[in-house]
Amino acid sequence: MAINLRKAVNKDKLKAKFEADSQTGNQGPSDFLPYFNLKNKDSVTVRFLSDANPNNQDTFTYIEEVFNFNGKNMKFDGFAKDCPASKIASDLFAEAKAVGEETAEGKEIREKALKYYKKRKYLVNAYIVDAPEYFWTAAGLDPDKIEDHVKVISLPKKVYDGIKDTVMDDDFSDVEFYNFGDDVVNFKLTLKKNSGGHNDYSGSKFEIKPKELDLADEDIDVIAEKLKDLSTLFKVHSLDEFNEAIEIEQNGDKEDSEPKQKKVTKKPQAAVNEEDEDSQPKVVKRSVPQVESTDEDDEEDAEDSADSNVGTVSDIKTLRSGILSKLMSKEEA
């Protein structure tokens, strides 16, 4: 049967596919740790693990850059200079600067530019050491299955920065931060609601004392098999696929704006009030899958309003004190 290449794109079907993909992600429904499901002031304790990529074996973190359209994460298959989304974002940022970034119009243009701008993902493999009982249930995981303990974490930027600062501190050169060797410290990822009601992970930090995990050799073998190559989590998309996704995104913007013009023509005052109310849910519906489908933590609002960072000086001093105490006790023995 011949394929009709002149047939118009069925955008409704494509949108439905994107929405379905956003629920499972390109990587599968259970690869990412849904830490945003934690309740206020609760934590999940993890042990960071190596990247399965043989070219990244001497570290445990990986930074990926992806675009997000219609709740779907997309990597561009080509040079950055040829990426259509990057070109749109660049033009819009320039336009915002020309009209004034602090003006209402400039802010609106900049907000639109961010939709077409690449997002950074701070990725790491992890073993779940401990989590609240409800967390396992909500995530559909079985704490008795060793394979359900192995997840990928997409770290909030401030958590990643705090981890980096701690690892690079010379006072911790003898401390192990990942895998199951001697003197390895676990990491406690903690969620708190800030004054704005957003998720705040700034209280996350390495535990003070190293902890040996009671794992059999066969369990460690299962964990090793479950590790992900962090560079392959997000699917690479072609130029045509990017243009198709961008077209849908842009048509969605046009559809949102068209009713405004019609209502304003008929009932200027009433239309303004109705559109103010109706437009908000539409924006929220489009943005929610972007967070949940990537296990995200962009959560830029939460990060911007957080009062403190992970791995602060006080946290580092506390960790340093615990390690020095341990070394002293070893020398006395």
Tokens of 16: 């439905």
User: CA-CA distances (angstroms) from residue 110 to 86, 93, 187, 285?
Assistant: 14, 6, 36, 20
Q: Which residues sit opposite 72 in a β-bridge?
A: 69
Residue-level pLDDT at 257: 53
Phi (first) and psi of residue 234, to 5 degrees: -110, 130
Phi (first) and psi of residue 77, to 5 degrees: -90, 80
Sequence-separated (6 or more) residues with CB below 8 Å from residue 282: 256
Phi (first) and psi of residue 10, to 5 degrees: -85, 95
Tokens of 25: 């992600």
- Write the single-letter amino acid at 71: G
Tokens of 140: 């559909």
Q: Which helix (H) or strand (E) holds 215?
A: none
CATH of the domain spanning 11-327: 3.90.198.10
3-state SS, residue 173: coil
Please, is 44 exposed, middle or buried when counting C-beta atoms within 10 Å of its C-beta (0-12, 13-18, 19+)? buried
Pairing mode, if any, of strands 236-237 and 72-76? parallel
CA distance 224 to 180: 11
User: CA-CA distances (angstroms) from residue 233 to 33, 73, 230?
Assistant: 13, 10, 6
Helix axes 11-24 and 268-293, enclosed angle (nearest 10): 50
Tokens of 324: 């020095």
Place of tokens 């304003």: 264
User: CA-CA distances (angstroms) from residue 34 to 21, 41, 157?
Assistant: 17, 15, 16
12: how many CB neighbours lie within 10 A of its CB?
8
Average confidence (pLDDT) per 10 residues, the chain, 333 residues: 55 58 46 92 95 87 91 88 93 93 92 92 96 93 94 94 89 86 92 91 91 90 93 92 91 59 45 33 31 38 34 45 50 48
Sequence-separated (6 or more) residues with CB below 8 Å from residue 278: 259
CA distance 87 to 81: 8
Phi (first) and psi of residue 53, to 5 degrees: -65, 120
Sequence-separated (6 or more) residues with CB below 8 Å from residue 224: none
User: CA-CA distances (angstroms) from residue 228 to 3, 49, 219, 319?
Assistant: 37, 10, 16, 29
Is the CA virtual torsion 313, 314, 319, 320 positive or negative?
A: positive
Residue-level pLDDT at 7: 54
CA distance 233 to 26: 7
Ranges of each domain in the chain: 11-327
142: how many CB neighbours lie within 10 A of its CB?
12
